[in-house]
Amino acid sequence: MYMRRASSLVRCCLQASTRSRQSPAHRGPGVLSSVTGRWRTRGFSSDNGKRLDTSLFVPVEPRNMESPGSDIGAELTQPLNKSEVLNILNKFYRRKEIQKLAAENGLDARLFHQAFISFRRYVMESDPLQVDLHIVLSDICCGVGHMDDIFPFFMRHAKQVFPMLDCMDDLRKISDLRLPPNWYPEARAIQRKIIFHAGPTNSGKTYHAIQRYLGAKSGIYCGPLKLLAHEIYKKSNDAGVPCDLITGEELIHVDPEDEVAVIDEIQMIRDPGRGWAWTRALLGICAQEIHLCGEAAAINLVTELMYTTGEEVEVRNYERLTSLKVLDNALQSLNNLRPGDCIVCFNKNDIFSVSRQIEARGLECAVIYGSLPPGTKIAQANKFNDPDDQCKILVATDAIGMGLNLSIKRIIFNSLVKPSVNEKGEKEIDTISTSQALQIAGRAGRFSSMFKEGEVTTMVQEDLPLLKEILDKPVHAIQAAGLHPTAEQIEMFAYHLPDATLANLVDIFVSLSQVDGHYFVCNIEDFKFVADMIQHIPLNLRSRYVFCTAPINRNLPFVCTSLLKFARQFSRNEPLTFQWICKHVTWPVSPPKTIKDLMHLEAVHDVLDLYLWLSYRFMDMFPDAALVRAIQRELDAIIQTGVHSITKLIRASESRTALQILDETSKDSGGFPDGAPTPGPRRIRGTKSLPANAEPQKASLTSRLVQDGLLTPDMLKQLEKEWMSRHQSRGNQTRLNELDILKKNRKKK
């Protein structure tokens, strides 16, 4: 997220490259030597000690090499006996010397096998066979040649199947990420002053950096959360210093140099998914003064990185401005809530469930989670912050977890486990880190708020010792900064490997890449996901790369299919007009009636965000940004009213959910799994999720069964289990969410 002090919105359009590409295979096989001993190149287990994953090398269908016309080989020698040739080839494959030689030429066992299969097929199926190879095979059949003489031909073929064998040195050079500072010559051309504002949460780091930003002639602020960016945006405009707001993770290059740049929450540089954006900002921003704000754990790394740019770092340390106390008692019951409490959950379902229970106690609460539009988040935050508003409880995800200034007295962790994606791109569920816990806890007792002392605790007593343990752990110094291959690097890779898909290119890139100890390559799963999704759409590489870096949530099917449609329309060179996008999102939209409607509207908001993000990059093809921004604001307002009465939506969803799930269950299982109902209680008592006014004659089979008392709680549980296992594989996230809500509500009963 970037904020720029300038009067007009800054835009950037990446230029599409039209450079023609030529595959190494087109350059011809070169001169072959039949002296096998001379076929030595470097192996792949590589100079940097890192083993290349050759499973990423996707074989390419070899191009037709035989000369047209008559079978000159047969005329010069004799026709080949195919079964004899097959026998020779198989022996060739099994020879230890050949395997060793192949390995020395870059073919590990896997590649050797794949290349051989392809070579054998080529030899057996070519008619006529290349003259030189025909002669060599004929000599071997006659006992005047040696089997090893096949090797050069085999290697020539292998290089066609795996073109990267021929350009490993080039590929290694391109993917050498050991000097990232050199990627930003404009920034290297100026001497920047780096000031690091270090300290715990709520110590005034951002405040001091922003004071300088406000005083400068021009400036840029970069931060991790939309809500935080809005906070700064508002502060700036309130102070009479106009500024613009740009969202999206990509650093937008603009020509003029700024006087001041603020990069907030610099410790995010270690983030396995997004760290690269901080590295890029730190190394690439052209400003006379760069103000970094964040945890002291980043000081050493930043100082080391700045040695390589020749820039000195001035560290300013801050102390916490207010006290923060970890309580000895958990909240235990929502009956113990007090004004100024914020319950932090790590998934949306818990948000809905908790807010519903709070409302059932006659209390009003504000709700903030990541996928809400900024306007809605701000409205909810304002409502909670407003001393005259009766809404004094906040239920939020860690969307409030960094840098924000809210009127929170006490943070209550609903749980301490959070799903995340690790360095390898794998999903994990783990307890939150000390840094995350400190950041979230640090929202309590903000200096600027009415609560000058912060408190932190958990929902359940058993979690409290763990919270204390997490908070007491030292935050280790950050070791490495994230990197991401640039468009230029990928483009150079594509030049050498024109037949590889973009996802395959980045995989090979990451596998080959060399980084020094100060950096790591961020996980690229989201990038690859989009790359695979749009692979079949004809796009030039630059445009394809831009689409792949679009910040989308790949768990939202509507957003993913929208990106796909955008890319398709783009590839046809048909501008995505306002009418087109309205039709696509079926604008105008109705206010949400259920949580599912709300989620859909959030996804529509994301789609409009995507449009705007792409419009910065491709102005001509996404020409109606102003109009889209206008309907996005309207949509934000519609979502705001929905969230305002979120508990009503939850209630509506609950009653629908029960029937929907039961319907689904009956459809999927074809009625009862065992045929006859088991004996037991005749009625599910207090199942509030069934509508009281359901008409028996119109209700679904399952709801009638429930009403007739033929479905017992145990049977329902069993059905749910089966339904879950059937649907899990289909990734029907919304339904599962709804089911979760239902289950939690039943537990309450």
Ligand X SMILES: Nc1ncnc2c1ncn2[C@@H]1O[C@H](COP(=O)(O)OP(=O)(O)OP(=O)(O)O)[C@@H](O)[C@H]1O
Residue ranges in contact with ligand X by CB under 6 A: 199, 201-207, 293, 321, 403, 405, 442, 446-448
Could you tell me the smallest distance in angstroms from the CB atom of residue 264 to Mg ion?
6
Per-position b or e across 245-282, b if 16+ CB within 10 A of its CB:
bbbbbbbeebeebbbbbbbbbbbbbbbbbbbbbbbbbb
Contact 320, 202 (CB under 8 A): yes
Q: What is the 3-state secondary structure (H, E, C) of 136-179?
A: HHHHHHHCCCCHHHHHHHHHHHHHHHCHHHHCHHHHHHHCECCC
Pick 383 or 446: Cβ nearer ligand X? 446
Pick 405 or 712: Cβ nearer ligand X? 405
24 binds Mg ion per the rule CB under 5 A: no
Could you tell me the smallest distance in angstroms from the CB atom of residue 200 to Mg ion?
10
Pick 291 or 383: Cβ nearer Mg ion? 291
Pick one of ligand X, Mg ion, none as the site partner of residue 203 (Cβ within 5 to 8 A by kind): ligand X
The CA distance from 2 to 280, in Å, is 13
Q: What is the 3-state secondary structure (H, E, C) of 220-236?
A: EEECCCHHHHHHHHHHH
> Tokens at residue 514, please?
């060399």
Tokens 């469930």 belong to 353
Could you tell me the smallest distance in angstroms from the CB atom of residue 344 to ligand X?
14
Site mask for Mg ion (CB under 5 A), range 437-466, x = bound: ------------------------------
Pick 111 or 441: Cβ nearer ligand X? 441
Pick 293 or 719: Cβ nearer ligand X? 293
Pick 202 or 653: Cβ nearer ligand X? 202
The CA distance from 52 to 49, in Å, is 9
Could you tell me the smallest distance in angstroms from the CB atom of residue 291 to ligand X?
11
Give the list of residues 6+ apart from residue 344 with CB closer than 8 angstroms, or none: 396, 397, 398, 400, 401, 411, 412, 413, 414, 440
Tokens 């003259």 belong to 131
Binding residues for Mg ion restricted to 196-215, rule: CB under 5 A: 206
Could you tell me the smallest distance in angstroms from the CB atom of residue 449 to ligand X?
7
Listed ranges 368-376, 399-407, 408-416, 598-606: which one lies at the site for Mg ion (CB under 5 A):
399-407
Smallest Cα–Cα separation from 537: which of 548, 521, 526? 548
Smallest Cα–Cα separation from 163: which of 272, 301, 267, 24? 24
Could you tell me the smallest distance in angstroms from the CB atom of residue 321 to ligand X?
6
Pick one of Mg ion, ligand X, none as the site partner of residue 702 (Cβ within 5 to 8 A by kind): none
Q: What is the 3-state secondary structure (H, E, C) of 37-70?
A: HHCCCCCCCCCCCCCCCHHHCCCCCCCCCCCCCC
Listed ranges 396-404, 468-476, 700-708, 713-721: which one lies at the site for Mg ion (CB under 5 A):
396-404
Burial (CB count <10 Å: 0-12, 13-18, 19+), residue 681: exposed
Pick one of Mg ion, ligand X, none as the site partner of residue 152 (Cβ within 5 to 8 A by kind): none
Could you tell me the smallest distance in angstroms from the CB atom of residue 450 to ligand X?
12
Could you tell me the smallest distance in angstroms from the CB atom of residue 22 to ligand X?
51
If DSSP codes are grouped into helix, strand and coil, which group holds residue 358?
helix
Pick 402 or 705: Cβ nearer ligand X? 402
Pick one of Mg ion, ligand X, none as the site partner of residue 202 (Cβ within 5 to 8 A by kind): ligand X
Helices (DSSP H) in 239-373: which residue ranges? 275-284, 299-309, 348-360
> Tokens at residue 244, please?
């613009």
Contact 494, 486 (CB under 8 A): no
Pick one of ligand X, Mg ion, none as the site partner of residue 448 (Cβ within 5 to 8 A by kind): ligand X
Pick 456 or 490: Cβ nearer ligand X? 456
Pick 435 or 504: Cβ nearer Mg ion? 435
Could you tell me the smallest distance in angstroms from the CB atom of residue 551 to ligand X?
22
403 binds Mg ion per the rule CB under 5 A: yes
Residue nearest to Mg ion according to CB distances in the complex? 206
Could you tell me the smallest distance in angstroms from the CB atom of residue 608 to Mg ion?
29
The CA distance from 279 to 297, in Å, is 15
Pick 293 or 483: Cβ nearer ligand X? 293
Q: Tell me which residues touch Mg ion (CB under 5 A).
A: 206, 403
